[in-house]
Copies of this chain bind each other. A is one copy, B any other.
């Protein structure tokens, strides 16, 4: 069978600096030529000597390439030297190489839709390119006990017992961390639970996602605050649930409105952020909290209590979470250690009845098998040695000072253009921009001066344009705050 002699020299570009051996590069490229139909079943290949001359490589390299192809059944050798493409390969049509510039074979042809997810994806992704960032309320990574954590991690990594343990670590998370969390939650906020009631997740978001999958079916109703944490709304909507927004005022979510809804038709789920509500930073008042607990017991509503920010409260100790009270096992409590460490290292948890946790484990392993058990073990040692508690104390004090300093600066320099209330806790202030200014325009101007601020679109979860943003103070030192405020004054056109 005669075959055209292909321009092998042009078709087989060798990368001498690649970590892939040259013989493999040649073999892989020849396989691609077979795919693409340029080398058809039964086509003859140049002898190893000829091919070596064409490609300017040693003949042994071609012999190795051909041996590789034979081992994989791509080519056959009839005599000693003549090799040809295996006649058993199915025929494919030749394709042009003309437009084979940088690849985009990837163009999806199967249909899918995701229209209900409308929160902007990219508005924050360019934040890192700025000299200064006022973030949404994240901790200062510079003070996190990362060295102690890494040290513990490396020490544990070397223990033979740990090597055995981690391969099949518990799906709910390292037992040592769940035990530490159980006593921490009891001591710090009166939540009575044991390790069996805890699922450690990659972050509060995963706990929220999993809890929603378990509780909600398409058509179910969910009471949420208006405004609300946008990512929570997206999770519920994605489950096919209908949102019932209830206003949030300075005392938290309006519980009378919740009661009115329950009287008509009991919703399936209530989502609540009791401390430093996202985005508004308000805390649910003790009165409303008690009233809400009665409603939960009376109407048997499932509740997701997202208490991501409990550990950072400055004015007094925070009101205990709903989960610490009697709630007929209806409250799924969600928290996070991320806020205590750094945003990059996400560790969250869900506290729930045992049968709920059992189901959550099934979901969690579908999504992610399990977390980093070794990191969890290392975190547990930080609790055991008190490093974590000391770090929390230190952070609380520092962020308290930073809140005061930042709010003083806001009051002194920007009170004529923004409204804000000093938050009782958390890592951010909710600042409403006076209507005559457009927040997205301000954000663009600030960006040009090297300062990133949120353009506010993320908070407009309903049809309302709040023209407001969260201004995170926890991760900025005083000098950085002063610089940021200076840029903001200029952006607002203040002298």
Which residues of chain A have a CB within 8 Å of any CB of chain B? Answer: 15, 18-20, 24-25, 27-29, 31-32, 34-36, 68, 71-74, 86, 88-90, 92, 95, 102-110, 112, 114, 117, 121, 124-125, 127-128, 130, 133, 135, 138, 141-142, 146-147, 150, 153-154, 157, 161, 163-171, 187-190, 192-194, 197, 202-203, 205-206, 209, 214-215, 231, 234-235, 238, 268, 285-287, 290-291, 293-294, 300, 302, 315-317, 319-320, 324-330, 342-346, 351-356, 358-359, 361-362, 365-369, 372-375, 386, 389, 475
Given contacts A103-B192, A128-B164, A366-B231, contact A110 B302 (CB under 8 A): yes
Inter-chain pairs besides A117-B362, A167-B475, 18 sampled, C-beta below 8 Å: A18-B187, A20-B188, A35-B326, A72-B319, A73-B287, A92-B294, A106-B353, A106-B356, A109-B300, A121-B171, A121-B362, A125-B168, A135-B168, A138-B167, A166-B344, A205-B365, A205-B368, A367-B368
CB closest residue in chain B, given A328: B109
A468 CA to B170 CA, complexed, in Å:
24
Which residues of the partner chain B approach A358 to less than 8 Å between Cβ atoms?
A: 121
Partner of A329, one of B29, B31, B109: B109
**Chain B nearest Cβ from A434, distance in angstroms:** 26
Of the candidates B19, B24, B71, B325, the one whose C-beta lies within 8 Å of that of A389 is B19
A128 touches B359 (CB 8 A): no
Residues of B within 8 A of A28 (CB): 189-190, 317, 320, 324
Instruction: Known contacts A124-B168, A135-B168, A359-B112; decide if A31 and B320 are in contact (CB<8 Å).
Output: yes
> In whole angstroms, how far apart are the Cα atoms of A260 and B36 in the complex?
24
Output the least CB separation between A440 and chain B (Å).
17
A121 CB to nearest B CB, Å: 6
* Chain B residues with CB below 8 A from A125, complex form: 168, 170-171
**A257–B180 alpha-carbon span in the complex (Å):** 53
A100 to chain B, nearest CB (A): 9
Query: Can you list 13 contacts pairing A with B, beta carbon distance less than 8 Å?
Result: A35-B290, A36-B325, A68-B317, A92-B294, A121-B171, A121-B365, A124-B168, A128-B165, A141-B157, A150-B150, A166-B342, A203-B369, A367-B368
A167–B454 alpha-carbon span in the complex (Å): 13
Residues on B with beta carbons closer than 8 Å to the beta carbon of A124: 168
B residues near A167, Cβ cutoff 8 Å: 127-128, 133, 135, 138, 141, 343, 475
Determine whether the beta carbon of A127 is less than 8 Å from that of B368.
Answer: no
A267 to chain B, nearest CB (A): 11
